């Protein structure tokens, strides 16, 4: 029991170390805390630090994350499992419970700090480009599903997850994983390949893309510069990855209150899922917490609580570390690697190509096209980086607004697309 308690403490405490490392070393900060969480988790899962179950135990699992205590004891008494399998099963139970808890708690926290009225007010600046990006993502992810549906596992679920990550980002990717009950090994495989392909894409965005797209699309029309409200939005976005000050007096207690509200939302959503028994439970929970989180963000009291976004991202780090530790690199690179990479590459670059074709038709300027594409693919924190490559700060707020809209709609679009494609 002590070992299990220590494992739980590790999963919740080690992300603090990751945040510290990112703050201390610039190159780790550029890699990102989530990438490091996946990396450390894979190291734990692939090096044998955590014990592996016997063949009999693995056979009895039949795709389940863990077994009931009585069933494990029965297997041991019949000689079909070993005493060590009891401990292995306890670990698997912890690894299954933590993601099921932290993601539903994280997502409302991520949404509480959004100033929805302000974002929607600014949405008109790049609304057409944002809408075209959504259309491009839906079309190309769906096309990718039909091309590779017979050659990659759970292709309809992957399509839903990639619509979520393309529209919103990692939080949506994680939430849709929970909603669709995606296998942990498959999720980590896809996440790893996504990071590899995404690294090449962000390099393209900050080097060749500005010059290339300015040759294809109309030039950007300069505005009067960044207003005071614009500057405030930019400042808020640049601080999204700043975890300092969370334990300060005046911040910590309201933050605990926000976490308590998130717990109540989770409990209500769970109760709603029990009432709507005919619908998949986690789908109801994820969409319910998204909707309630958005509604509560309209409350000035809740919206002004500091560091709610950071606390939500901290819980996403806990999720990333836990889920990655369930995977094994040796298994990862033996399951349809090429087809998965092709599917992911198609989703990203295919969506980008279709988006530029639509932007050409609707005469979207090059800078607004690129900044909204970056916001959708990489989420708001990457917008200033791409704006710097464009040497154009006027498009930052438009990009951030597009990314925030992606956060909002990502879960709905991802889940809806997945269940639509499931019928094919």
Query: Do 95 and 120 lie in a common domain?
Result: no
Banded model confidence at residue 207, pLDDT cuts 50, 70, 90: confident
Q: Is the pLDDT of residue 204 over 70?
A: yes
Single residue among 49, 75, 100 that ends a domain in this structure: 100
Query: Do 85 and 111 lie in a common domain?
Result: no
Banded model confidence at residue 387, pLDDT cuts 50, 70, 90: confident
Query: Do 251 and 278 lie in a common domain?
Result: yes
Mean pLDDT of 244-268: 92
Amino acid 140: pLDDT? 95
Query: Do 85 and 192 lie in a common domain?
Result: no
Amino acid 233: pLDDT? 57
Least confident of 43-47, 162-166, 398-402: 398-402
Query: Do 7 and 151 lie in a common domain?
Result: no
Report the percentage of the chain scoring pLDDT > 90. 27
Residue 58 belongs to what domain range? 2-100
Query: Do 14 and 135 lie in a common domain?
Result: no
Query: Do 210 and 71 lie in a common domain?
Result: no
Mean pLDDT, rounded, of the chain: 83
- Backbone dihedral region for residue 79 (phi beyond 0: left; psi -120 to 50: alpha; all else: beta): left
Banded model confidence at residue 96, pLDDT cuts 50, 70, 90: confident
Single residue among 100, 134, 155 that ends a domain in this structure: 100
Banded model confidence at residue 15, pLDDT cuts 50, 70, 90: very high
Residue with the bigger pLDDT between 293 and 337: it is 293
Banded model confidence at residue 193, pLDDT cuts 50, 70, 90: confident
Predicted model pTM = 0.77
What is the domain count for the chain? 2
CA separation for the pair 226, 231 (Å, rounded):
6
Query: Do 59 and 170 lie in a common domain?
Result: no
Banded model confidence at residue 47, pLDDT cuts 50, 70, 90: confident
At residue 326, the 3 state secondary structure works out as coil
Per-residue pLDDT tens over the stretch 118-168:
666 655 657 888 889 899 999 999 999 999 998 888 899 999 999 988 887
Per-residue pLDDT tens over the stretch 299-353:
989 988 989 988 988 998 998 899 888 876 666 555 556 788 889 889 989 999 9
Query: Do 64 and 185 lie in a common domain?
Result: no
Single residue among 75, 100, 125 that ends a domain in this structure: 100
Per-residue pLDDT tens over the stretch 140-149:
999 999 999 9
CA separation for the pair 98, 184 (Å, rounded):
12
For CA atoms 319, 321, 327, 332, the dihedral sign is positive
Query: Do 129 and 247 lie in a common domain?
Result: yes
Contact (CB, 8 A) for 130 and 355:
no
Query: Do 54 and 175 lie in a common domain?
Result: no
Query: Do 201 and 76 lie in a common domain?
Result: no
């Amino acid at each position: 029991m002590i070992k299990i308690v220590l494992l739980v403490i590790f999963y919740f405490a080690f992300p603090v170390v990751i945040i510290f490392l990112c703050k201390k070393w610039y190159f780790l900060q550029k890699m990102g805390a989530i990438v490091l969480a996946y990396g450390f988790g894979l190291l734990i899962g692939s090096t044998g630090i955590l014990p592996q179950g016997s063949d009999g135990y693995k056979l009895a699992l039949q795709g389940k994350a863990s077994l009931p205590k009585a069933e494990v004891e029965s297997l041991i008494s019949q000689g079909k499992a070993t005493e060590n399998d009891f401990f292995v099963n306890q670990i698997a139970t912890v690894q299954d419970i933590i993601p099921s808890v932290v993601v539903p708690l994280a997502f409302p926290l991520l949404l509480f700090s959004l100033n929805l009225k302000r974002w929607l007010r600014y949405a008109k600046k790049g609304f057409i480009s944002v809408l075209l990006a959504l259309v491009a993502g839906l079309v190309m992810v769906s096309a990718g599903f039909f091309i590779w549906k017979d050659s990659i596992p759970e292709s309809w679920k992957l399509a839903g997850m990639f619509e979520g990550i393309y529209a919103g980002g990692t939080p949506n990717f994680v939430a849709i994983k929970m909603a669709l009950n995606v296998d942990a090994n498959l999720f980590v495989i896809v996440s790893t390949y996504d990071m590899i392909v995404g690294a090449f894409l962000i390099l393209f965005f900050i080097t060749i893309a500005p010059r290339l797209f300015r040759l294809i699309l109309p030039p950007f029309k300069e505005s009067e510069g960044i207003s005071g409200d614009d500057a405030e939005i930019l400042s808020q976005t640049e601080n999204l990855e700043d975890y300092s000050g969370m334990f300060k007096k005046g911040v910590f207690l309201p933050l605990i209150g926000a976490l308590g509200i998130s717990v109540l939302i989770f409990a209500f959503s769970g109760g709603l899922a029990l009432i709507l028994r005919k619908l998949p439970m986690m789908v109801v929970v994820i969409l319910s917490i998204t909707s309630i989180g958005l509604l509560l963000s309209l409350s000035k009291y809740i919206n002004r609580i500091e560091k709610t976004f950071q606390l939500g991202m901290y819980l996403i780090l806990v999720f990333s570390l836990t889920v990655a530790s369930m995977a094994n690199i040796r298994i990862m690179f033996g399951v349809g690697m090429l087809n998965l990479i092709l599917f992911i590459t198609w989703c990203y670059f295919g969506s980008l190509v279709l988006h530029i074709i639509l932007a050409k038709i609707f005469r979207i300027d090059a800078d607004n096209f690129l900044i909204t594409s970056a916001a959708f693919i990489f989420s708001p924190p990457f917008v200033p980086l791409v704006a710097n490559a464009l040497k154009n700060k006027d498009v930052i707020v438009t990009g951030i607004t597009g990314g925030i809209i992606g956060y909002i709609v990502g879960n709905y679009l991802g889940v809806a697309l997945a269940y639509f494609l499931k019928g094919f």
